[in-house]
Amino acid sequence: MPGKFITLEGGEGAGKSTQAKLLASWLHEQGIETVETREPGGTPGADAVRALLLENDTPLTPMAEAHLFAAARADHVETLIRPALADGKWVICDRFIDSTLAYQGAAGELGVDIVRAINETAIGDTWPDLTVLLRMNGDAGTQRAIARDGAESDRFTSRDFAFHASVAEAFDVFASNEPDRFAIIDGGQTVDQVAEAVRAAVRERLI
Ligand code: TYD
């Protein structure tokens, strides 16, 4: 693909959305045409699925939930991400497949293998060129997200500490299994320090 695909991953409150915006504006300054998007969502179809996934009221089985994340992702990849990359644009996505592998796979009830199989059919060969993992220590990120959004803000933020700890551990495992794709950055630093580390990773690996 002529464009590059960058994803930002991490637990709740790790600062992904802030860093996605800062990275997009820096790339823009470098003369690179950039599309900034997020998951779940990013297209009208995927946003409709997002509403169902994040509201707390509709009971969903783990398998149904995993398929819905993958369905939203398939729409997002086919209608927005892949055409943008084919056009030479860089795509920055706040959460992508590794979130599903961590939340629904490793920390959820299905395990990583089943969730990966479902998602591989959804994304085909559209894997990220670079995945930035913003790491937080202990429950610092979850506390930040609760202060920002409230404890019951969505189906996932409201899960317990053990769930979020196992999400964090899963991201660490994915990053150590694929060191060429992942850049690990300490999300507990100041916004400017994190932004500089993200730019350094992009410069080093993609520019
Ligand atoms: P969002 O409002 O985007 O939160 P955040 O700022 O933390 O990214 O909500 C996304 C929530 O959905 C978040 O709790 C993580 C969860 N999620 C999954 O469980 N699986 C997934 O595949 C994705 C993309 C998100």
Q: What sections of 77-187 are H helices per DSSP?
A: 82-86, 97-100, 112-123, 140-149, 161-177
Nearest residue (by CA) to ligand 1, atom 5, is: 12
Å from CA of 53 to ligand 1 middle: 9
Nearest residue (by CA) to ligand 1, atom 11, is: 156
Band of residue 70 on the pLDDT scale cut at 50, 70, 90: very high
pLDDT at 157: 86
Enter the DSSP assignment of 111.
Answer: -
Å from CA of 132 to ligand 1 middle: 16
Å from CA of 51 to ligand 1 middle: 11
pLDDT digits (tens, 9 = 90+) for 77-127: 999 999 999 999 999 999 999 999 999 999 999 999 999 999 999 999 999
Q: Is 42 in the pocket of ligand 1 (CB under 6 A)?
A: no
Beta strands 182-186 and 130-135, pairing class: parallel
**37 touches 94 (CB < 8 A):** yes
Dist. CA 75–CA 81, nearest whole Å? 9
Exposed, middle or buried: residue 180 (CB in 10 Å: 0-12, 13-18, 19+)?
exposed
Q: Is 90 in the pocket of ligand 1 (CB under 6 A)?
A: no
Instruction: Tell me what the pLDDT averaged over the chain comes to.
Output: 96
